[in-house]
């Protein structure tokens, strides 16, 4: 059978299987040309690298890293780099596919890619992380670049990681190449508003969903956020600013709950000082499983994948589910949520604020002309609102759920580009 090895490897992970099934559903619903659909099932290119790292105790440890380019039809590859113990080729390929669909949905002139190294950054020193990042960048340097593929932060990586990647790539080329990554520090060509952009975008799509559902967002609107990293924290902060009541938040160790509302900035200070949510005053502890099942108006899973499954979907008590994380919901959970009347804002729509501002950063860098924060926010708001409306129109026209609608909308744009470019050779 064709592609046997690739199939075996890619289908070994639940995320890839889930992504393929989602893709299939959308292709069937929109009757996509099967020749186009077949090409989207596999990544265009997948690179596996060994990343030997000198650890602080002078020993050398070899990590496994990946960079997967799912599609380069619309432009250079785009997608984050993940440092996490669960990173695999299959997971990276699934996330690369999601990036293709996300960029196409938002009409960005970018393809889809993803990278990752299987490691635990929480147990590594700053020097070890720098060594890892520099060697990983060097190993993938012949397939990345401002016109080829542009990495960005994801789980376990940040602005500093991007600065090291940019420096390593630039050292190899011989001059500064800021456009090789996005999500960089401002001092080397980063964009204002990039750090908060994913959470900000999640909040913008919630505002659009609330308008569609005739729901007011005020002090009686309760919000729960799972995951208090970059995305969760900025989404919570924005929802708090809009005037909603954040009643529960969590990190990987568990959560805190207070039906009267939580003080977002006090939590941030507590977390910065104690590195843990536990012990936060005036709140009761909850587990991550309990947190998802608490009654609220808006639930934002902003942690890792596969948190909402067929086992707990029936127990959710929210009106809007806004997917801040990539793939937090399994395919089996979708019809259960739909039957319960929960309005799902799917990941490729809800969390695309990050890659959208990455695109703004890339554009500003190419023009060597930088925008103020207000301009970044206004442009982000416009693109998020327009795309939400576009997905809503497909949702009504095809009578499919919002996830399938987002995929159809994305595939309409991508397939047009694939067909007009034609087939090579
Ligand atoms: N890692 C983010 C995502 O999954 C951002 C990617 C980017 O900015 O390229 O969307």
Q: What share of the chain in percent tops pLDDT 70? A: 100
d(CA 59, CA 65): 19
Best mutation site among 198, 205, 348 for ligand 1 pocket (most ligand atoms within 8 Å of CB):
198
Task: Identify which of 338, 350, 335 has the alpha carbon closest to the alpha carbon of residue 207.
Answer: 350
Pick the residue whose CA is nearest to atom 8 on ligand 1. 355
Residue 154 Cβ inside 6 Å of ligand 1? The answer reads yes
Residue 78 Cβ inside 6 Å of ligand 1? The answer reads yes
Best mutation site among 144, 165, 358 for ligand 1 pocket (most ligand atoms within 8 Å of CB):
358
Catalytic residues: 114
Does residue 92 have a pLDDT over 60? Answer: yes
The ligand 1 atom nearest the CA atom of 78? 9
pLDDT at 11: 87
> What's the 219 CA to ligand 1 centre distance in angstroms?
31
Does residue 290 have a pLDDT over 80? Answer: yes
> What's the 103 CA to ligand 1 centre distance in angstroms?
10
The string of pLDDT tens digits covering residues 50-74 is 999 999 999 999 999 999 999 999 9
Residue 302 Cβ inside 6 Å of ligand 1? The answer reads no
Domains and CATH numbers, the chain: 3-178 (3.40.50.10860), 197-350 (3.40.50.720)
Backbone angles phi, psi at 344, to 5 degrees: -95, 125
The ligand 1 atom nearest the CA atom of 359? 8
The string of pLDDT tens digits covering residues 11-23 is 889 999 999 999 9
Rounded average pLDDT over 335-363: 97
pLDDT at 5: 72
Residue 354 Cβ inside 6 Å of ligand 1? The answer reads yes
**pLDDT-based confidence at residue 1 (cuts at 50, 70, 90):** very low
> What's the 230 CA to ligand 1 centre distance in angstroms?
12
Residue 355 Cβ inside 6 Å of ligand 1? The answer reads yes
Does residue 232 have a pLDDT over 60? Answer: yes
């Amino acid at each position: 059978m064709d592609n046997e090895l690739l199939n075996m490897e890619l289908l070994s992970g639940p995320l890839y299987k889930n992504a393929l099934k989602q893709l299939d559903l959308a292709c069937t619903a929109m009757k996509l040309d099967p020749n186009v659909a077949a090409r989207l099932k596999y990544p265009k290119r997948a690179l596996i690298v060994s990343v030997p790292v000198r650890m602080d105790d002078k020993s050398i440890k070899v990590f496994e890293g990946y960079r997967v380019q799912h599609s380069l039809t619309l432009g250079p590859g785009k997608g984050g780099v993940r440092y996490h113990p669960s990173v695999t080729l299959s997971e990276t390929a699934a996330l690369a596919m999601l990036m293709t669909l996300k960029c196409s949905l938002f009409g960005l002139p970018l393809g889809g890619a993803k990278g990752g190294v299987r490691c635990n950054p929480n147990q590594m020193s700053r020097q070890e992380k720098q060594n890892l990042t520099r060697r990983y960048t060097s190993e993938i340097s012949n397939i990345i670049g401002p016109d080829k593929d542009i990495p960005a932060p994801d789980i376990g990586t940040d602005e500093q990681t991007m600065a090291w990647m940019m420096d390593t790539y630039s050292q190899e080329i011989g001059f500064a190449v800021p456009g090789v990554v996005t999500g960089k520090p401002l001092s080397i060509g980063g964009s204002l508003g990039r750090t908060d952009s994913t959470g900000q975008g999640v909040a913008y799509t919630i505002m659009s969903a609330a308008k569609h559902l005739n729901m007011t967002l005020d002090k009686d609107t309760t919000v729960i956020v799972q995951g208090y990293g970059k995305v969760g924290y900025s989404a919570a902060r924005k929802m708090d600013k809009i005037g909603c009541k954040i009643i529960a938040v969590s990190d990987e160790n568990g959560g805190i709950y207070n039906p009267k509302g939580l003080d977002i900035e006090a939590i941030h200070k507590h977390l910065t000082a104690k590195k843990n949510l536990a012990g936060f005053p005036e709140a009761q502890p909850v587990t991550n499983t309990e947190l998802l099942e608490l009654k609220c108006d808006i639930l934002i899973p902003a942690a890792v994948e596969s948190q909402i499954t067929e086992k707990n979907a029936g127990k959710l008590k929210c009106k809007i589910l806004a997917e801040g994380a990539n793939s937090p919901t399994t395919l089996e959970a979708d019809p259960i949520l739909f039957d319960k009347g929960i309005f799902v804002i799917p990941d490729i729509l809800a969390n695309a604020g990050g890659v959208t501002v990455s695109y703004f950063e890339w554009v500003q860098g190419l023009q060597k002309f930088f925008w103020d924060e207000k301009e970044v926010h206004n442009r982000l708001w416009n693109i998020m609102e327009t795309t939400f409306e576009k997905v809503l129109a497909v949702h009504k026209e095809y009578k499919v759920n919002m996830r399938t609608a987002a995929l159809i909308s994305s595939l309409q744009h991508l397939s047009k580009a694939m067909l007009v470019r034609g087939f090579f050779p």
